Structures are given as structure tokens and as C-alpha cells.
Chain A
Amino acid sequence: MSQSIRYRRASRIDFRNFDNLLNFAVVGLLLIGTLLVYAGTREWFRSYDLDPEYYLKRHILNILIGSLLAYGTTLVDYRLLRAYTPIIWLASVIGLVIVLIPGFGSKINGARAWISLPGGFQLQPAELAKIAIIIGIAMIMADREHANQDPTDLDVLKALAIAAVPVLLIVAQPDLGTVLIISAAILAMIGASGAPSRWVIGLLILAVIGVFAAVQTGAVSQYQIARLQSFVDPSADPQATGYQLRQSRITIGSGGILGKGLFNGPQTNGRFVPEQQTDFIFTVAGEELGFIGCSLILGLYLLFFIRAFAICRRSSDLFGRLVCIGVIAWFSFQAFENIGMTMGLMPMTGVPLPFLSYGGSSMFANLIGVGLLQNVHSRGR
């Protein structure tokens, strides 16, 4: 390791060290998300004489915890994170094993993805696994940088091996959406690492064959296939998956240019779209905020990625750059998959929308991801 590394411990938050445009985008998305979670749940809870602010409060709590985790992530120099990587990796693998044990893991919407904790809290280890895999691969692929060498075939194999264990465990849940996001991140990171091109092309082909084989051999459950089928023909199964996709599209489409106004969406208040505070939160934006509001959300994502790429380019080392690439790939594919699903561009997968959806584990992971970007930013120049 080079001697130029400055070890820095800040005693208080110093925003001058952060990319504040990136922060602006994140805070903007968090604010909109908070309003949308509230809009998507208040009438529903009120109709049952329950606290209409129930979800709002928990969502704000998640953001606060997530922000602390993000800040914590910025404190430790990212280059030191390598030391923690095996621990994070092991923790996520253990978590992913636990969810598969009946009695510990709870099955929601056909996937065993959650660990139930006392007090109604649930943990989703796959979210943690995303971070572990990104840092793990970045560590291996950047290992030869100080020798001015590109990663070798062996490095790629090592990286794939690191990723394979959690990915296979997630396949077993099954959570195809998360697997696709992680695969996209792995591909992007290997491509950007300078590894031989044959790996990028090979992995792309492998991914296509993999998806095809999974459907053919029945490794993908009937539940997953039903979701895919209803994507192709939403009227095939009007009450279940197809219903959800149809309702989702109608809800967004009915919003029009200006939307029905916050808290005023009849589709949202009537709760015609299931899971509208989590996976289908974009429908709330679509109906109540309209084309203008949705464009604002896409604009904030655009700003976020522009800044994230800038951090990536300015990063002084390959490790930081690869971490950024991994985080960008993660957020961008997840956002595309989620919003694309609500608008009928992508098949239905149960992935939340980064920064907007309600859900503790994903919120923590998202903000830790932001922390990683800021960490690279503050130490990258």
C-alpha cells in the first residue's frame, strides 16, 4: 500500500468532504419517497381505524437509521473496508442460509427472503449480500493495480467464486430479481476492471443461457413463470399477477400530466394496486404527482448517476472506481427493473425502488451504498 494514504477521522459531519449534489439527489428522493409512503398507506390504515401515520413513522425511522449507517460508512477509509469484507460477506451468507430454514425465514409472495425479528421487524439478508459482493469483487479485481497489471483470468474466477455462494443462496429463495441485479453489478465491475473482454462477453452469453435453462428445467418456480407469463399477457390471469400489473399500469396512466394531487389519488386511496408502499410505490407517484412529478423523480435519479459516475472517474484507484461501478449498476438496474415493472416494460420481480420504497433492509443497504460513494469521493481526490 502506498504511503500517500491519509488516515482521517472526522469528529463531526463535514459536508465539504461530500459530493453535495449527490446528497441533494438522495435527500430529494428520500423526501418524495416519504410522502409517497404516507400517501400510499394513510387512507388504508384510516379505513381500519389504525394509525394513518404508522408507515410514515417507521419509514422516517428507517431513513434515520440508514443515514447513521451511511455516515458510519463514510468514516472508515474505504481502502480499510477490505479488512471488513470477509466479515460482511460471512454475515450475509449466514443470513441467507438462515432465511432458507423453515421457522426462521418467513415466506412472503412466494419467496423465502426475510428473517423475522421480534417486534415485527424483518431483515432481508440479500440486501446486505449486495454490499458484500460489490466490495468483495472490487477487492479481488483491484488487487494487481499497484503492480500496474490488469486482473487475470484467475482473479475473475476468484471474484465469481466469491459472488457465487450468496447468489446461489438467493436463487434458492427464490428471488430472481435480486439475482439479476447482482449479476448486472458483477458484469459491470468485471467489464470496468480491465479484465479480458472474453469474460464480459462470455458472462453475458452465460446469463442468457442461465435464464433460459432455469425456466426450462423448472429451477424457476411456477410462481416465477406465472409472473413472466403475466408480463407477456396481463389479461391471462386477471386476479393475481396480471391483475397487479394491469392495475399498476392503469394507475400510472390515469395520473396524466399533472397528477391527481398528493393524497388525492382514487386508485391509491382505494388500494387497487397491492404492495403500493413497497414494490409498487412508483404507481403512487404516477397517479398523484403525474408526469411532472415522475419526471422529477427520474431527473433526481439522473443527477444521482451523473454525480456517481463523476466520483467514479475521479477515483484515484481501481478499488474505489469498482465500488462506484458496482453501486451504480446496483441502483440503476434495480430502479429500471422496478419502475419498468410498474409501467409494463419489465416482468414482475419483487425488488423495491431505491430510496423511495418502504422497507428497512433495502433502505439501510441503499444508504450504505450512498455512504460508499461519498467515502470514495472524499478520499478519492
Chain B
Amino acid sequence: MSLRAKINLIIFQTLVFSLLFALFGRLLYLQVLENGKYKDAAISIQSRDIVTPAVRGAITDINGTPMVVDLPGLVVSIDRSKLDKLPDKGSSVLAKTAALFSLEYADIYQRTRLCGELPKDNRAGCWNGTRYQPIPLVGDASQDLALKVMENSDQYPGVEVQSVPIRSYPSLEGENTAHVLGYVGSVTDEDLNNPDINYYRNEVVGKTGLEVKYNEYLRGIPGVRTVLVNRKEVVTKESKNIKAVAGNNLITNIDSKLQAGVEKALEGAIKRARASGYKGDSGAAVVLEIKTGRVLAMASYPSYDPTIWQKGLTVKQAEDLFSEAKGVPALSRPLQGLFAPASTFKSVSVLAAANAGYSLDAKYNCPATVEIGNRTFNNFDSVAAGRLSLDVGIAISCDSLWYQIAYDEWVRDGGLKPKSNTNDYFFDAAKAFGVGKTTGIDLPSELSGRLPNRQWKQNWYDQNKDFYCNYKQRAKKSDLTPYLIEIARENCLDGNKVRAGDAVNFSIGQGDTLVTPLRLAEIYAAIANNGTYYRPQVARAIVDVDGKVIKEFKPEVSDTVKAAQSTWDFLHRALRMVVTRGTGAGAFSGFPVAISGKTGTAQVFGKNPNGSAKDDTSWFASYGPTENPQYSVVMMVSQGGFGASASGVGVKDIYATLFGVTGNKIDPTKAVFPNGVPTTIAKVDLKKAASEVDLTGIKVGGVKLK
């Protein structure tokens, strides 16, 4: 062998051993150093979690009667792994299924495609899961149709009927309660990214109302079955099986019988308003227990059928929920409807006057009009009532006496050149009563209302100065009337100032002041309580499936309004007088339980979609019985006309339900709480709800129900 050949052989030999060494090094890197990373990657390739949602907890009324409960619903779903094995990839089965359930073939074809199978621009409705998960098509199949599929399973390969727990609303007392209960829906990506709760993609979560507020208790823990699959997604082995844990039940303070009565009374008030020629577009009613803040009933009109969410919301239904023409049924008006409180606010003004040193026992002049600056402020109906005591002024709802007090106080505070230490008795009294603040009710999306004090004025001016100071360029052509141009000029000049007109309007609950019906109910509960505020609470307790109390929601004092006892006594007297001989007398004529309250008829500026001027907001805020106040009841009818006629009678109807009144007679056995509002936590009785749904004869997964 030549030297060169020898050297070449050695080089070659070195090369071969180096290659082996390189492989060994790489092996060490992959299997020893990076093992953890690849192990995780392999597990995510091989294993699949099949999630069984837990039975969601029920929501019951104060007596344990279910208002929402998970009941087995018949869900028709498609098994893609079976469909794909058919010669035509399942198109004939899908067509047959579509025909049976009166669905569009194109629609269910789209819904049974995995999102990755469709072009990027056409993925609407696609299945956001995997091939081996059942893809639900019909959420609440009728027994007849479901049985057709089950009995002819050979004709419907890959079509499965499953009993899945779905939200059901037994409505045992005929109540709706849709806004309070809220609804559930599929988890969103935001939920899935929540670091605190490990959500699974096929779970439902609360979206609004109690369902979202107490979601963590109601949800339970989903069961997870982990299986190993092969490359064709065929299950080869089960590696883990954790059973689902049912959610806890929520007992509320709502009494479903009272709730049904309140809903009926509200609807009656709206119908009455419409019959009197008012628009009566919407309304709200609230019943609070005065000494605890418990929300015993809360209604919003118009409402909607809560089952639509479970049946699968159609595009039309979704549009209707937020349609202006349908009165925006999605809005929960007791806590989201903002209206000027009008004369119901005079109770607040009484506190302001008392604090400012006005005698509550003196007589005041109630003229037909009051001239302030160059503007004339009219008494309600422009009628002069002469000199009268303040309680009578409240009872007949005199406005003009408040104009004078408010104007005098405004001047005393410096008028358009406010002093550095203004007294602001009216603003401060409103603030003390919580105007412009949320009540803290245990429901989501509560609005705070508006307290138009000096600070608010300044903020408003800072935001709108530019518009009003350039009004002729910025405004719509149709808004360039001499009157509006003059207002704009004034707003530009001193829009940041509380003007005399603002102060005067504020004293009678008009102008920029806005409250929710719930806030007003709280104000009247506080008046009955001599100033003690309780946080309004819908939830009473969380109990587990065995009835054990997990959490009890005890009454919470949230605020106190400070006033002399003589002021409270005056208010109690005056508010009673409203009902005995004032504006509320007609509505409560002959009513056998003593009620105290105040009417309100708020002017609304602005126009309806059809161009007509908006009708007045009708209010009645009250508490009763007068001597030993138990309940605070408030009703509001938007565009309902006079407070007494629409809402006053509506509130009387609610008290009739509460106390079991028929005509002029009290039948204590018919009262909602014959023994007072229950102080103990009720037992949940879900059987009441189950009897409403007949599942006899339905076989699901080889097991016959019942």
C-alpha cells in the first residue's frame, strides 16, 4: 500500500468514526438533554381530552323552587369520523338529517366542517373542534324526531342523539325573570385564555345576569377523559377518566310568585299607559326588602324568552333583542335604564332644604309661575295653589315652591360667580342619597346614573366646548334654528357654570339628573329605614347538591344618610299624605294596607324614531306598610304619562300581590310572605322542575331515562 493510500485510508477511517460520533452526540441531545420538550410534544400529539361538561347548578327562588335548572335535552350531533368512512363522505346522510329536522343542507354541511378544512374566507359556523368530537346540530330535538333517528340508526350512520344537560326554565309560577337570571353561552377565546379557570372548549359559561355573576359556583368541574389516539384519530387506549362534578345551586331572594305578579303589574301599567294614548315603550319594577336589601322581585319590560339561547339563537332573534323598534328587550332596565326621577326626587330636596335651614313646618308659597332671570318656570299644570305647608306641597307635588328655594340657595352660593366654599345643599343631599353612584347590586353591568353637580358641569363643558363654540360649522343643517344657535352660544359662553335654570330644575328631579329604578328603590328604602342603606342582593346562598350551605349572603349596610329624626318623620308624614290625599290618592283609593310613596312625571327631551316628541316618564316610588315598612316598591314606565295613573296603579297591584289583597279585602293566606320574608335558607327542590319535562321512553346511550 502506498503512503498516500495509507493516509487516505486513515482519513477515511477517521471520517467514518466521526460520523458515528456525530450521531451519538445528536442522540444524546435529543433523548437526554431535550427529552422534556419532546415528551410534551409527543403527549399533545397522542392524547386527546374528551370533556363532559358538569351539570350546571340550578338557580332557585327564595323558597327553593327552581327558576333555571339543567335538564337532559336531546342533542342531535354528527360523528365526523364515522361520516368520513361512508362512500359519499356522508353527504346523503347529512341531506337526510337536514330534511328530517327542517334545516338547510348547506348550513349543516358548513357546520360539520372542521375550520381547517374550509378556505380562510369562508369559515363562518365551522366546527372549532376536532373530528372525533360529536358536532351538535340540533340543541333541543323533539322526542319524535330524535326517536326516528335512534330507531333507524342504520339509515343515519354517524348521526347520534345524546342526552346533554341544557338550561331549562320551568317557570313554575309563570315568571320570566330573564334579565335577572341571564343566560349561558359557549366559552370565548378570552375565557379560554383566563389564567385562573381552566375552561374547556365545549363548555358553556354565564354571559349575563346571575349566570355570569355566580358562574364560578354554578359551573362545577367538567369531567375529562383522556384517550390515546393514532394518526387516524382512532382511540386506542384510555389513559385517564375524571368524572364531572356537578355545580352548586344558587338560592336567590327572588320569590317566583311575587316576580310573576310584578311582571304582570308592570305589563298592566304599560298597557294602561298605551290605552291612555301614551307610547309606553318600556318599563321596570323593583321590590326590595327594606331591612335587608334583598331583591324580592325585579322586572324589565319588554322581556324575552330565555330559552332562545338554548335552542340556538337565530339571526332574527339576535337582532330583535337589540332592536330599537322592539324596545331593546336585552336591556335590564331596573339597573340599566336611566331616567330623570322628577318629583320622586323631592324627598331628596326635603333633606337639602332641612340642611339649608328651611323649616319643614313653615308654610310656603306655591304660585303658578316663577320668573327666574328672563325665563318663566311653570308649576306643574301651571296651577297656583296658594300658601301651603311643605307636607301638603309634597302631597300635591308643588314644583314652584322648590324653584324659589333652589334659586335662593343658588344666589347664596354666588350664582354665576360661585363662591369658593359653596354650600350646594341640593347636590350634597343627592350625593348623600347615592345619586350618580351604583348601588352595588350583585348583577353585572349596573349603570351609575348621573349627578349633574359643578364638577360634572365642568367635565361636560370640557368635552363639548368645541362643538358649541363652533356650532354653525359643526351642527347638522336641520339643527341651525335661531333657538338652538342661541342655546349653543350660551353653552359656549358659560356652559361650565351651574346656571339658575340648572339649580331650579335639579330641585324637582329634572334637567340632567338621571337615576336607575333600582337606585330610586334604594332611596325610598333608605327613607323608610331613617337613612340606613342596604346593598341590594339577589343571591341568598350557595348550596351544594346535598343541600349543604357553601356560602350565605348576609345583609350588608352599604351607606348611611345623615339627617335629623324630625326630617325623617316629616318625610314619612308627607309621603303618606301623597297616598291619602295627594297625587297618589286615586291609585290607592280604598287600598286596605297603608302605603307611603311619591309620584313622578318626568319630562323627556328628545324625539322618538318616528319624529314624535317623547312622552313623560311615569314613576311611582314607595314603601309599605307605612307604620312598619317592609318593602320598597318602585315602578317606572317610560313614556307612560302621569306617574299616578300608569305606575301608581302598577305599584298598588304589586302591593296587592305582596299582601294578598283582593279588592278592599286582605286575605293573609294569599300573601306572598304570610309569615314574613323567610329568614332561613330554603331546601332546593329540583323535582318540581323535572316533572315539567317528559322524557319517558327516550333511550339515551343504551340507558332508558326514568
Contact = CB atoms under 8 A, between A and B. Distances in A.
Interface string B648-678: 0000000000000000000000000000000
A102 to B, nearest CB: 30
Given A43-B236, A343-B23, A270 B9 contact: no
B231 A270 contact: yes
Given A254-B39, A270-B231, A272-B231, A305 B17 contact: yes
Contact of A256 (B13, B20, B22, B35): B35
A255 interface: yes
Given A43-B236, A298-B23, A343-B30, 12 more contacts: A249-B38, A253-B30, A253-B34, A253-B35, A254-B39, A257-B31, A266-B46, A267-B45, A270-B236, A272-B230, A295-B24, A339-B23
Nearest to B24: A298
Contact of B42 (A266, A305, A328, A335): A266
B1 interface: yes
A302 B20 contact: yes
B24 A345 contact: no
Contact of A295 (B27, B37, B39, B41): B27
A302 B17 contact: yes
A250 B38 contact: yes
A6 B27 CA distance: 46
A74 interface: no
Contacts of B8: 191-192, 200
Nearest to A321: B1
Interface stretch (A20-28, A29-37, A79-87, A286-294): A286-294
Nearest to B35: A256
Contacts of B23: 298, 335-336, 339-340, 343, 345
A39 to B, nearest CB: 14
A244 B13 CA distance: 32
Given A266-B46, A305-B20, A294 B27 contact: yes
A340 B26 contact: yes
Q: Report which residue of A188, A247, A250 has the largest number of chain B beta carbons within 10 angstroms of its beta carbon.
A: A250
B4 A197 contact: yes
A294 B27 CA distance: 8
B703 interface: no
A290 B9 contact: no
Given A193-B5, A291-B27, A291-B31, A256 B230 contact: no
Contacts of A339: 23
B24 A252 contact: no
Contacts of B35: 253-257
A261 interface: no
Nearest to B8: A191
Contacts of A336: 19-20, 22-23
B20 A298 contact: yes
Taking chain B's interface residues, is the majority helix, strand, or loop, or is none over half, making it mixed?
Answer: helix
Nearest to B33: A253
Closest 4 CB pairs of A and B: A253-B38, A254-B42, A270-B230, A194-B5
Contacts, number: 139
B20 A267 contact: no
B484 interface: no
Interface in B274-327: none
Nearest to A197: B4
Given A253-B35, A253-B37, A270 B27 contact: no
A254 B19 CA distance: 23
Contacts of A290: 31
A269 interface: yes
A188 B47 CA distance: 47
A272 B38 contact: no
A290 B32 CA distance: 9
B487 interface: no
A contact residues, range = 35 or more
B562 to A, nearest CB: 69
Given A298-B27, A345-B26, A325 B12 contact: yes
A374 interface: no
Nearest to A298: B24
Interface in A145-194: 150, 188, 191-194
A332 B41 contact: no
A150 B46 contact: no
A329 B42 CA distance: 35
B147 interface: no
Interface residues of B, number: 40
A354 B32 CA distance: 25
A7 B39 CA distance: 58
A252 B30 CA distance: 7
Interface of A: 43, 47, 150, 188, 191-194, 197, 200, 247, 249-257, 266-267, 269-272, 286, 290-291, 294-295, 298, 301-302, 305, 309, 312-313, 318, 321, 325, 328-329, 332-333, 335-336, 339-340, 343-345
Contacts of A298: 20, 23-24, 27
Nearest to B18: A336
A253 B231 CA distance: 18
Contacts of A332: 16, 19-20
Nearest to B232: A271
Contacts of A286: 27, 30-31
B2 interface: yes
Nearest to B230: A270
A20 B621 CA distance: 106
B28 to A, nearest CB: 7
Contacts of B229: 270
Nearest to A333: B19
Nearest to A305: B16
Nearest to A256: B35
A255 B31 contact: yes
B41 A250 contact: yes
Contacts of B16: 305, 309, 328-329, 332
A147 B350 CA distance: 131
A138 to B, nearest CB: 13
B228 interface: yes
Nearest to B37: A253
B230 A271 contact: yes
Interface in B199-248: 228-232, 234, 236-237
22 contacts: A150-B4, A194-B1, A250-B41, A250-B42, A251-B42, A252-B27, A252-B38, A253-B31, A253-B39, A253-B41, A257-B32, A257-B35, A267-B45, A271-B232, A291-B27, A294-B31, A302-B17, A313-B9, A321-B1, A335-B19, A339-B23, A345-B22
A150 B236 contact: no
Given A194-B5, A250-B42, A343-B26, A188 B12 contact: yes
B13 A309 contact: yes
A295 B26 CA distance: 11
A86 B31 CA distance: 47
A287 to B, nearest CB: 8
A17 B4 CA distance: 31
B231 A271 contact: yes
Interface in B43-59: 45-47
A266 B230 CA distance: 8
A187 B37 CA distance: 40
Contacts of B28: 291
Contacts of B234: 47
A343 B31 CA distance: 10
Given A298-B23, A305-B17, A312-B9, A291 B38 contact: no
Interface string B46-81: 110000000000000000000000000000000000
Given A192-B5, A200-B8, A343 B46 contact: no
A161 to B, nearest CB: 22
B74 to A, nearest CB: 33
Contact of A191 (B12, B45, B230, B231): B12
B42 A267 contact: yes
A254 B47 CA distance: 14
A302 B37 CA distance: 29
Nearest to A309: B13
Q: Report which residue of B35, B228, B232, B234 has the largest number of chain A beta carbons within 10 angstroms of its beta carbon.
A: B35
A380 B39 CA distance: 50
